[in-house]
């Protein structure tokens, strides 16, 4: 595993409903007035992006215990911070949400690496003028947490801008990626799209992704013979593919362990030539008390890449599965192989 999570913010809904949905299983904290915005003219991929206000941050948990992690994200600022105290960006934090490093955009368009939330703790700074308003910039950082040989490497739009070696980055493992703004960031609007989290433990995707995109894909149609029932929609694919979860309005359901349904993906855009991996984010619950498991897998040329066997509860909960390699080849996905593959739902218990 190296690609850990990917999000284009397309399926949580918008505004306050999105905040509640994001907190149903994946994100750990959401700042009070932040939201998903539906604005295709600004979004870097799909129709939507995430925007953060205030100094409080939105965080998502790294699912692994790695001391070396990476984060890639597109950031768009409508206006620059007007003071150093209003600088903004994101953090890598530990289990207690203590900062390991901040990546902060300064009023002069430089990017600083801070060891703590104090502006006095800068351990690296790029040239000025690197970040401009009104355009998406691709930020990617690698953090090696160590209290003697800690490292931070920063790339902007795929270009190495900063590397800091042999710094004390504490004794606690990275655990969260978190949006961040200084004490005076106020109502400055920071926009995020195409968030990718990774670590260095895998055979693929264990280093910088470059200016990658998280392209949203939806289920196009049902494969005949599916054993899950469809409620509230014309097809299973339509029931589970939405711009916002609609709870018990439309869904697919299975009663018997072993029930399987397969679904076809939509075509990818022509520019999707290299595929680093597939992140499937699904929301599920038990319809009644008791026990029940469900699994999301991907089937390619009759070979199955299995996702987690999830123990469900009676609360709708988001979970994410990563499929880095085509199970038919053991290699990264190609566009044609992905488009020929199917998504499988199985009630496993
Ligand atoms: Ca998006
Ligand atoms: Ca639905």
Number of domains the chain is built from? 2
The rounded distance, in Å, linking the Cα atoms of 228 and 256 is 9
Q: Among residues of the chain, what percentage have pLDDT more than 70?
A: 100
183 and 255 assigned to the same domain: no
The pLDDT, as a whole number, for residue 320 is 97
68 and 195 assigned to the same domain: yes
CA R_g for the chain: 21
Tell me if 210 is assigned to some domain. no
CATH of the domain at 154: 2.60.120.200
* For residue 7, pLDDT beyond 80: yes
Tell me if 207 is assigned to some domain. no
The pLDDT-based confidence of 259 (bands split at 50, 70, 90) is: very high
193 and 252 assigned to the same domain: no
**Of 321, 313, 336, whose CA–CA distance to 1 is shortest?**
321
Chain center to CA of 50: 11
Contacts of 180 (CB under 8 A, 6+ apart): 57, 88, 89, 90, 91, 102, 104, 117
* Number of neighbouring beta carbons within 10 Å of residue 306: 16
Helix/strand/coil for 129: coil
Please name which ligand lies nearest the alpha carbon of 47.
Answer: 1
151 and 231 assigned to the same domain: no
CA of 94 to the centre of ligand 1 (A): 27
Tell me if 205 is assigned to some domain. no
The rounded distance, in Å, linking the Cα atoms of 249 and 319 is 20
Tell me if 211 is assigned to some domain. no
Residues paired with 155 in a beta bridge: 140, 160
Tens-digit pLDDT profile for residues 46-94: 999 999 987 778 999 999 999 999 999 999 999 999 999 999 999 999 9
22 and 118 assigned to the same domain: yes
Please name which ligand lies nearest the alpha carbon of 247.
Answer: 2
Q: Which domain holds residue 252?
A: 219-347
* For residue 349, pLDDT beyond 80: yes
Q: What is the DSSP string of 305-341?
A: EEEEEEEP-SS-EEEEEEE-EETTTTEEPPHHHHHH-
The pLDDT, as a whole number, for residue 15 is 86
* Number of neighbouring beta carbons within 10 Å of residue 326: 22
* For residue 187, pLDDT beyond 80: no
CA of 277 to the centre of ligand 1 (A): 17
CATH of the domain at 261: 2.60.120
Q: Taking CA 228 as the corner, what is the angle to CA 222 and CA 229, rounded to the nearest 5 degrees?
A: 95
The rounded distance, in Å, linking the Cα atoms of 341 and 301 is 7
CA of 35 to the centre of ligand 1 (A): 13
Average pLDDT over residues 319-327: 98
The tokens for 115 are 């060891």
Q: Of 164, 199, 234, which closes a domain?
A: 199
Tell me if 267 is assigned to some domain. yes
174 and 97 assigned to the same domain: yes
The pLDDT, as a whole number, for residue 239 is 98
CA of 250 to the centre of ligand 2 (A): 4
The pLDDT-based confidence of 186 (bands split at 50, 70, 90) is: confident
Tens-digit pLDDT profile for residues 210-220: 999 999 999 99
Tell me if 209 is assigned to some domain. no
The pLDDT, as a whole number, for residue 1 is 72
The pLDDT-based confidence of 293 (bands split at 50, 70, 90) is: very high
Please name which ligand lies nearest the alpha carbon of 11.
Answer: 1
């Amino acid at each position: 595993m190296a690609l850990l999570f990917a999000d284009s913010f397309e399926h949580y809904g918008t505004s306050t409903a999105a905040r509640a949905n994001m907190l149903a299983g994946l994100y750990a904290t959401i700042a009070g007035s932040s939201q998903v915005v539906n604005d295709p003219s600004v979004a870097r991929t799909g129709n939507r992006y995430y925007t953060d206000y205030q100094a409080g941050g939105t965080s998502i948990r790294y699912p692994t215990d790695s001391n070396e992690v990476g984060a890639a994200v597109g950031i768009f600022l409508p206006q620059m911070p007007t003071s150093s105290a209003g600088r903004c960006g994101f953090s890598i934090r530990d289990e207690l949400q203590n900062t390991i490093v901040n990546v902060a955009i300064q009023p002069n368009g430089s990017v600083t690496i801070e060891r703590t939330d104090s502006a006095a703790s800068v351990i690296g700074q790029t040239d000025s003028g690197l970040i401009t308003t009104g355009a998406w910039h691709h930020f990617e950082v690698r953090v090696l947490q160590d209290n003697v040989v800690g490292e931070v490497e920063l790339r902007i739009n795929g270009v190495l801008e900063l590397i800091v070696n042999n710094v004390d980055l504490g004794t606690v493992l990275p655990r969260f990626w978190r949006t961040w703004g200084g004490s005076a960031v106020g109502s400055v609007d920071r926009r995020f799209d195409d968030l990718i989290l990774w670590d260095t433990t895998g055979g693929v995707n264990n280093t910088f992704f470059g200016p990658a995109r998280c392209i949203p894909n939806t289920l196009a149609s049902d494969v005949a013979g599916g054993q899950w029932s469809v409620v509230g929609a014309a097809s299973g694919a339509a029931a589970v593919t939405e711009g916002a979860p609609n709870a018990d309005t439309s869904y697919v359901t299975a009663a018997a362990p072993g029930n399987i349904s397969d679904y076809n993906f939509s075509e990818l855009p022509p520019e999707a030539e290299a595929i680093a991996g597939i992140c499937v984010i699904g929301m599920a619950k038990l319809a009644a008390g008791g026990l029940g498991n469900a699994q999301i897998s991907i089937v390619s040329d009759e070979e199955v890449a299995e996702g987690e066997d999830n123990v469900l509860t009676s609360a709708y909960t988001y979970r994410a599965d990563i499929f880095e390699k085509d199970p038919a080849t053991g290699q990264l996905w190609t566009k044609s192989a992905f488009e020929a593959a199917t998504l499988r739902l199985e009630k496993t218990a």
